[in-house]
Amino acid sequence: METDTENLLGQFLRARRERLRPEDLGIRVDGRRRVAGLRREEVAQLAGVSTDYYARLEQQRAPQPSVQITAALARVLRLSLDERDHLFVLIGHNAPARFHRSEHVSPPLMRVLDRLDDTPAMVQTDLLDTLAMNPVAVALLGDQTRHTGLARSGYYRWFMDPAERLMVPEEARERHGRAQAARLRAALTAGSDMPRAARILAELQEHSPEFVRMWELQEVAQSYEDCKIILHPELGHIEVDAQILYTENRAQTLVVLTTRPGTESHSKLELLSVIGHQQPTP
């Protein structure tokens, strides 16, 4: 006799199928339906499999679905990332990486960015491509969205563009460079655009001896530095704390830079806030 734990996959699929409404997926409903949620044949059709195969899948009698079919089921059933990963494990596959590269700024992050008008904030990818900045961030850091090609990546610019060094005190540049190399290593193996990360790596290995030295340390990290000192061309040293908010799949990051109230850095940031709002938004 089958126990409850022996058909976790079937229980999970049925529960997620029954919680959806046909109209959630654009299915027209004529008359009353005798079952809650979606029918098996509707899930099967949308996922591109036969009704018989899907029925046997819920009964734990079907051959193991491919990765493509598993992903299709997750999409049809409108699974969250946690639920998708759970489905992959139940079926017997490794869960996909949670990164998905997109030039379109995540709407939730954009809504938060739109409400931050008195502190620098920007949206970046895991390759440090800056996708959006508020006016205060532009006043503090310059317009980082203007770069093209590999230079869009902050990792690339740090080692290839001397102007990038001017924003960091000389005594902190070694630590900052090592952090950049360590985060690029993480993006190379589990990032949203690993082929592009590999191109950045190849260029830096060919043209930057400093990068090669730091790369050979074999350090890896995904976190941001807890505190940074930014050198502004007119206001000098500004000490900031970086607060980080990730999208659910960690493909994009909202970076918010704050200062401690009552400090000289806080006063400088208040001045930049005024300057930033006097300039046209990029």
Domain ranges for the chain: 4-91, 107-278
pTM given for the model: 0.67
Type of residue at 107? P
Cα–Cα nearest to 279, from 172, 174, 140, 88 = 140
Residue 25 has a pLDDT of: 67
Closest CA to 281 of 151, 113, 126, 128: 113
| Contact (CB, 8 A) for 282 and 145 | yes
Q: What is the pLDDT of residue 270?
A: 93
Query: Are 130 and 155 in contact, with CB atoms under 8 Å apart?
Result: no
Question: Strand (E) positions, 128-204?
Answer: 130-133
Which pLDDT does position 281 carry in this prediction? 44
**pLDDT at res. 37:** 83
| CA 126 to each of CA 36, 45, 107, 254, 275: distance values in angstroms, whole numbers, following the listed order | 41, 36, 17, 11, 29
pLDDT at position 208 is 98
Beta strands in 160-235, from DSSP E residues, in sequence order: 227-232
Do the beta carbons of residue 81 and residue 91 sit within 8 Å?
no
The fold of 4-91 is 434 Repressor (Amino-terminal Domain) (1.10.260)
Q: Answer whether 139's CB lies under 8 Å from 276's CB.
A: yes
In this predicted structure, what is the pLDDT of residue 56? 93
Tokens of 173: 């540049």
pLDDT tens-place values along the chain, 282 residues long = 444 445 889 999 999 888 888 776 666 666 676 766 888 998 998 888 999 999 999 988 888 999 989 988 988 888 877 788 899 999 999 887 665 566 678 878 888 998 898 899 999 998 999 999 999 999 999 999 999 999 999 999 999 999 999 999 999 999 999 999 999 998 887 777 888 999 999 999 999 999 999 999 998 887 766 568 999 999 999 999 999 998 877 788 999 999 999 999 999 999 998 877 665 444
Q: Is the CATH number of domain 107-278 3.40.50.720?
A: no
